[in-house]
Chain A
Amino acid sequence: MSDIFVDNIKHQSSQGSGTITIGASGETITVPTGVTLDTTSATQNRPAFQVGRSTNQTLSDGTNTVIAFDISRFDIGSNYSTSTYRFTAPKAGRYFFTTQVRIDNAPSGGYVRCYFGVNGNSGYSGSNFNYGHVISGGNHSTDYESFSVSAVLNLSVNDYVQVFAGKQGNTTANFQGESQFSGYFLG
């Protein structure tokens, strides 16, 4: 066993742009209990956000509507817009997203759905919404219900993600403020 006591480790020649590789295949890098691995590396200070909604929002019949999450609770990297209701990817990679929306007056005999859209598109192909989707309808219709959707999406720089909800039926469905939209960069 050998120890290195040091306060800084930097790339030998290109400080500010080089790559430093830690370990070789089969090895384990251990962060001992009580050690704080913090806070400025890309993986620790990753883009992450959680947003909510201040008021109710009416859903039009037969139309899929962007949920207007207009309250930012935290937004590392400032990648979410409370005016366009978009999370815009600052870098390419995989992102985890999750949302939970309350929808009231789900129509009996109709349906209510919620899904993620990327660059304004649902990713609908065949019978699938490829970016994550839930639907409730028919005899399962309720006075109100929370929908929860999670997905891992592969995004390019400047791709944007929004939450959509839609309904079809005779009643006036409303998206309610008791809802949230969250996400973070996986790598």
Chain B
Amino acid sequence: MGTIKTTNIEPIADNGTVTLGSSGDTFSLGSGVVQSNLNYPAFMATMGTSNQTVTNDTTTKVQLTNEVIDTDNAFDNSTNYRFTVPSGGAGKYLINGAVTIRSAASTVSLVYAWLYKNGSGVNLSMANFNNNPVFITTQNFSVLIDLVVGDYIELFGYIDASSGTPAFDPGVTGDTIKSTYLAGYRIGS
């Protein structure tokens, strides 16, 4: 057994590659060792504290103004409300999203929660309460998607309500418990 004690490992040439092991080898983190940055980039964004009023029967982007996690400063919470894959971040991502949608009591008959990738829908959670309209509902999804550098993802919602003020709702208990969000992290290449 050989032991190397050091604090940095770098390639010989700047911007080079350090190859660890060969086929069949196992790299094992010692018990209690922590690997930092595992599953980065990672992000989670929620709405603020106010409802977002939306136009009935219109697919609308959810304005996720509150960043909970944004490890790589890749989520835009002020203009486009989107996560953009940063340099070095290409790979498979687990994405979770939810939209809480409301209007007047017993008026909401159709709701969608969309995951958009580069401006187009790629995943959809929906409910049609046509025979039993509701006051409020949350549609959620969880999906693995393949992203490359520069790809961006966004959360959209849709409501069909017969009356009231259609809106996306940030959550409950004074909007401190969030039920409208978009979150994700990279699981690997």
Residues of A bordering B, CB below 8 Å: 1-12, 15-31, 33-36, 38-39, 41-46, 48-50, 73-74, 76, 96, 98, 100, 102, 108, 139-146, 148, 150, 178, 180, 182-184
Residues of B bordering A, CB below 8 Å: 1-2, 4-12, 16-37, 72, 87-88, 92, 94, 123-132, 139-146, 187-189
* Pair A145/B187 contact, Cβ less than 8 Å: no
* Pair B129/A142 contact, Cβ less than 8 Å: yes
* Pair A30/B36 contact, Cβ less than 8 Å: yes
Contacts of B36 in A (CB 8 A): 28-31
* Pair A148/B142 contact, Cβ less than 8 Å: yes
A20, A46, A108: the one contacting B27 at CB < 8 Å is: A20
B25, B130, B142: the one contacting A20 at CB < 8 Å is: B25
Interchain CA distance A39-B186 in the complex, whole Å: 13
Contacts of B37 in A (CB 8 A): 30-31, 33
Please give the distance in Å from B94's CB to the nearest CB on chain A.
Answer: 7
Contacts of A43 in B (CB 8 A): 188
* Pair B144/A22 contact, Cβ less than 8 Å: no
Given contacts A7-B12, A15-B25, A27-B34, contact A184 B20 (CB under 8 A): no
* Pair A8/B9 contact, Cβ less than 8 Å: no
A7, A30, A74, A102: the one contacting B11 at CB < 8 Å is: A7
A5, A22, A45: the one contacting B10 at CB < 8 Å is: A5
* Pair B141/A11 contact, Cβ less than 8 Å: no
Contacts of B187 in A (CB 8 A): 46, 48, 184
Given contacts A20-B26, A146-B141, contact A141 B17 (CB under 8 A): no
B5, B11, B24, B142: the one contacting A5 at CB < 8 Å is: B11
* Pair A21/B131 contact, Cβ less than 8 Å: no
Please give the distance in Å from A140's CB to the nearest CB on chain B.
Answer: 7
Given contacts A21-B28, A100-B143, A108-B131, contact A9 B34 (CB under 8 A): no
Q: Which A residue sits closest to B125, measured CB to CB?
A: A146
Q: Would you mind naming 8 contact pairs between A and B with Cβ atoms under 8 Å apart? A: A1-B8, A5-B10, A33-B72, A98-B142, A141-B132, A146-B124, A148-B141, A183-B144
Contacts of B143 in A (CB 8 A): 50, 98, 100, 180, 182
Contacts of B27 in A (CB 8 A): 19-22, 41
